[in-house]
Structure 1
Amino acid sequence: MKTALRLVLNAFAWFLAMPALFVSAAALDHHRIVSISENIVPMTAAVLSLWAGVIYWRCVPSTSSGWRRAGYLAAFLAAMLLLGWAAMWATFVVMLAIYGA
């Protein structure tokens, strides 16, 4: 599998994880199985941040030039920031569709 495809697939999975995590946590909290509603945001942020670090480490190609590596990091962080923003909106829409206004 090519590096670019692996990067895109991992980023897409990362994008889909945010709504899935929040819907799962809301279901657990709604059925009073586990009360994690006050800790779900920091836990999800930690998990997604660590996952983004692993994606960068495993999928972004290494290079001998420090400037090029810094450029890759800047592009990766900008893309993940936009994906995170879109994932927040997707989570909002999904939660609104499930639980209503």
Structure 2
Amino acid sequence: MKTALRLLLNVLAWFLAMPVLFVLAAPLESHKVLSISDHIAPVTAVVLSLWAGVIYWRCVPSTPSGWRRAGYLAAFLAAMFLLGWAAMWATFVVMLAIYGA
């Protein structure tokens, strides 16, 4: 599998993980199985941040030039920030569609 495709698939899975985690956690909260309303957002943020680090480490190609590597890191961080922001909105829309206003 080419590096670009592997990176794209990992980032897509990362993007979809936030709505999925919140949708799966919502029934636990509503049935009082687990009180997670105070902890789900920070735990999700830590898990997704660690996962983004693994994606960068495994999928972004290494280069002999430190400047190019720094450029890759800056581009990766900017892209992941924008995708995280979009995933937050996607989570909001999905939760609103499922559970209403």
Q: TM-score, normalised by structure 2?
A: 0.98
Partner of 2:13: 13
Task: Provide the C-alpha distance between the structure 2 equivalents of 1:37 and 1:28, rounded to a whole number of angstroms.
Answer: 10
Task: Provide the C-alpha distance between the structure 1 equivalents of 2:30 and 2:7, rounded to a whole number of angstroms.
Answer: 35
Partner of 1:37: 37
- Does residue 47 of the first structure (1) align with residue 30 of the second (2)? no
Per-residue Cα deviation, 1:37-79 (whole angstroms, up to 9, x for no partner) = 1011100000000000000000000011000000000000011
How far residue 27 of structure 1 moved from its aligned partner, in angstroms, is 1.3
User: What are the ranges of 5 or more consecutive residues in structure 2 without an aligned counterpart?
Assistant: none
Task: Provide the C-alpha distance between the structure 2 equivalents of 1:56 and 1:28, rounded to a whole number of angstroms.
Answer: 32
Per-residue Cα deviation, 1:5-26 (whole angstroms, up to 9, x for no partner) = 0000000000000000111111
Count of equivalent residues = 101
What is the percent sequence identity of the aligned residues? Answer: 82
How far residue 33 of structure 1 moved from its aligned partner, in angstroms, is 1.3
One-letter amino acid matched to 1:73 = L
Partner of 1:22: 22
One-letter amino acid matched to 2:69 = R
Partner of 2:89: 89
User: What are the ranges of 5 or more consecutive residues in structure 1 without an aligned counterpart?
Assistant: none
Superposition RMSD in Å: 0.5
Task: Provide the C-alpha distance between the structure 1 equivalents of 2:70 and 2:5, rounded to a whole number of angstroms.
Answer: 21
Q: TM-score, normalised by structure 1?
A: 0.98
Task: Provide the C-alpha distance between the structure 2 equivalents of 1:82 and 1:58, rounded to a whole number of angstroms.
Answer: 20
Task: Provide the C-alpha distance between the structure 2 equivalents of 1:6 and 1:16, rounded to a whole number of angstroms.
Answer: 15
